[in-house]
Amino acid sequence: MLSGLMMDYPLTLNTIVDHASRMTPEKTIKTKLPDGRWHEYSYAEFRRRVKRLGNALQALGVEPGDRVGTFAWNNFQHLEFYFGIPCAGAVVHTLNIRLSPEQLKYIIDHAEDRVIFVDGSLLPLIEPIAAQLETVERFVVFNLADGQSCSLPNVSHYEDLMAAASEDYEWRCADENMALGLCYTSGTTGMPKGVLYSHRSMMLHTLGALAAAALGPTETDVVLAVVPQFHAMAWGLPYAAAWVGATIVMPGPHLQPAPLAVMIESQGVTIAAGVPTIWNGLYHELRGRPRDISSITQLVVGGSAMPRGLIEAYERDFGVNVVHAWGMTEMSPIGSVAKLQTRHLDLDADGRWDIKAKQGYFVPGVDARIVDDAGRELPWDGATMGELQVRGYWVAGQYYRLEREREHFTEDGWFRTGDVVTIDPQGIMTITDRTKDLVKSGGEWISSVDLENMLISHPDVLEAAVIAVPDERWGERPLAVLVPLAEGHDPQALNDYLLERFPKFWLPDDYVLVEEIPKTGVGKMDKKVLRQWHADGKLGSA
Ligand code: AMP
């Protein structure tokens, strides 16, 4: 074999912060603070703070490989942790602030976090469990409000540590295979499972995210990560945006539709990323109180299926291009993006929206196949449904501190996503369901996702979730749980509406109304809770 003769230049995270402060030192990172004021500083200052953080961590006794938790909104401090902790050789473990106390304790103990950085506004969520945490030696708090007390044990204040630390620091992440970050899955089944990213996998993922076929931010972009930093590394946007020196806008705790609308307008945001629930809320806000959001070139949406009706409505009503992406915590997370290709350029608007509502093309770096129950590969004909399996540069090879079990990883090296999909001959993937959410009625599959998308496009419906409920005759039947937009609700009208698109046996047996669909910690509809409500007889009829 003739080996290549290229440099052995490690794929390590310091490259990003060094590059940004060199190439775009004056570009800025802006954060909306809890009190509504803006904090802003340059990439040059950012790098100095990241270096200080390295020394501060060393002063705390944090060693390479140690896990350091973050319990925070999206803000500049969290961005400093994103870089400073891995560049000090330690592992940034993003803690989901919406987990239950039991789940939070479980993942902190499981990860064996030694230090946790805590945002002042979130103290009440962590204080009650602080004394029970098995491995945490120190809490570092920041953003404390004036006069706010803190009952955590062994507390340091972030700005005190930073003030005492020098900016003279040598990065401690020379090996690209070192662990960089740890993120636990949102845990809609069982306990959350940890995914441990390496510098190498995250740098390759960042390059993947920078490809125009994926998200492709550039220096001229103003990037707003609404997706929390604890949800699958904010989909890689902070790293990608920083590498090219884009302006980064961090919303802090201001995630409600009204402040988001103002933020997008006032900051001239060009790329914004969030889950469908967020964009659904923003859409209704903008209908009620118009704002100019036409600066947006990519409204990135993922985490759950974006209803086609909403993609259409954003483009039709506000001229905003929605980019539908699919991913998983286990994939760092980007897997596929629904961007149009040459063959779609002649399509009319309807045809284009059909494509954009799908989960799209696998991005370069991700390989995929679909298989049946016996693991046999299925055709890409756009009709045959099967379980999606993936492999690639940034796909997990096993869960943190768990065996590499067959339930999630195949013997021949693929990750089992648990998503049921079709792939068409051109390679466009469409998610039909999660394996556990499909409705199996009389031996036939009914896609809860398809029904939900259609229901939400009806003018009377704000939110819709479809769950399988046990049925003596058919095994399972679909039940629709709705949040109506206005008083009054006519199941017959909804049935007629669904019949335009689906066979009769797909129609829900019942429609029940709720005030709100329960959501998981990352804002997805929590069907596990809905199934429980149904089992407990808590879901009445409409
Ligand atoms: P998480 O790791 O919490 O991001 O969850 C990953 C799962 O979310 C995937 O396996 C899918 O079931 C679902 N998901 C993510 N993006 C999409 C999307 N665009 N459409 C439908 N489901 C999605």
Q: Hey, whose CA ends up nearest to atom 1 of ligand 1? A: 328
Q: What angle do CA 482, 307, 254 make, to 5 degrees?
A: 80
Q: Hey, whose CA ends up nearest to atom 20 of ligand 1? A: 305
CA–CA gap between residue 466 and residue 454 (Å, rounded): 11
Assess contact for 303 and 185: CB atoms under 8 A. no
Residues 445 and 428 in one domain: no
- The per-residue pLDDT for 352 is 97
CATH number at residue 329: 3.40.50.12780
Q: Ligand 1 in contact with 328 (CB < 6 A)?
A: yes
**Domain-ending residue, one of 433, 453, 483:** 433
Residues 191 and 67 in one domain: yes
Domain residues for 448?
Answer: 439-535
Residues 449 and 497 in one domain: yes
Known active-site residue 380: no
Residues 66 and 181 in one domain: yes
- The per-residue pLDDT for 503 is 86
Asked if residue 76 belongs to a domain, the reply is yes
Asked if residue 230 belongs to a domain, the reply is no
Active-site choice (377, 440, 444, 538)? 440
Q: Ligand 1 in contact with 201 (CB < 6 A)?
A: no
Asked if residue 242 belongs to a domain, the reply is no
Which atom of ligand 1 is least distant from the CA of 331? Answer: 2
- The per-residue pLDDT for 75 is 98
Active-site choice (285, 330, 387, 463)? 330
Task: Read off the pTM.
Answer: 0.91
**Domain-ending residue, one of 128, 161, 196:** 196
Question: What is the helix, strand, coil percentage profile of the chain, to 5?
Answer: 30, 25, 45
Q: Ligand 1 in contact with 302 (CB < 6 A)?
A: yes
Check whether the bond before 124 is cis (ω within 30° of 0).
Answer: no
The sign of the dihedral angle between the CA atoms of 500, 505, 506, 510 is positive
Asked if residue 227 belongs to a domain, the reply is no
Known active-site residue 330: yes
What is the CA(188)–ligand 1 centre distance, in A? 11
Q: What is the pLDDT along the chain (542 residues), one digit of tens a residue?
A: 999 999 999 999 999 999 999 999 999 999 999 999 999 999 999 999 999 999 999 999 999 999 999 999 999 999 999 999 999 999 999 999 988 898 899 999 999 999 999 999 999 999 999 999 999 999 999 999 999 999 999 999 999 999 999 999 999 999 999 999 999 986 555 678 999 999 999 999 999 999 999 999 999 999 999 999 999 999 999 999 999 999 999 999 999 999 999 999 999 999 999 999 899 999 999 999 999 999 999 999 999 889 999 999 999 999 999 999 999 999 999 999 999 999 999 999 999 999 999 999 999 999 999 999 899 999 999 999 999 999 999 999 999 999 888 889 999 999 999 999 999 999 999 998 887 888 988 877 888 988 998 998 898 899 999 999 998 888 899 999 999 887 777 888 899 999 988 888 899 999 999 999 998 888 888 998 999 999 999 887 55
Residue to substitute in 185, 231, 328, 336 for testing ligand 1 pocket (most ligand atoms within 8 angstroms of CB)? 328
Residues 322 and 418 in one domain: yes
**Domain-ending residue, one of 408, 433, 458:** 433
Q: Ligand 1 in contact with 156 (CB < 6 A)?
A: no
Structure tokens at 540: 């009445």
- DSSP 8-state symbol, 516: S
| Gyration radius of the chain's alpha carbons | 23
Asked if residue 237 belongs to a domain, the reply is no
Residues 424 and 471 in one domain: no
Q: Ligand 1 in contact with 303 (CB < 6 A)?
A: yes
CA–CA gap between residue 361 and residue 326 (Å, rounded): 9
Residues 23 and 146 in one domain: yes
β-bridge mates for residue 206, sequence order: none
Known active-site residue 474: no
Known active-site residue 32: no
Residues 85 and 192 in one domain: yes
In the chain, the number of structural domains is 3
Residues 175 and 281 in one domain: no
Which atom of ligand 1 is least distant from the CA of 329? Answer: 2
What is the CA(303)–ligand 1 centre distance, in A? 4
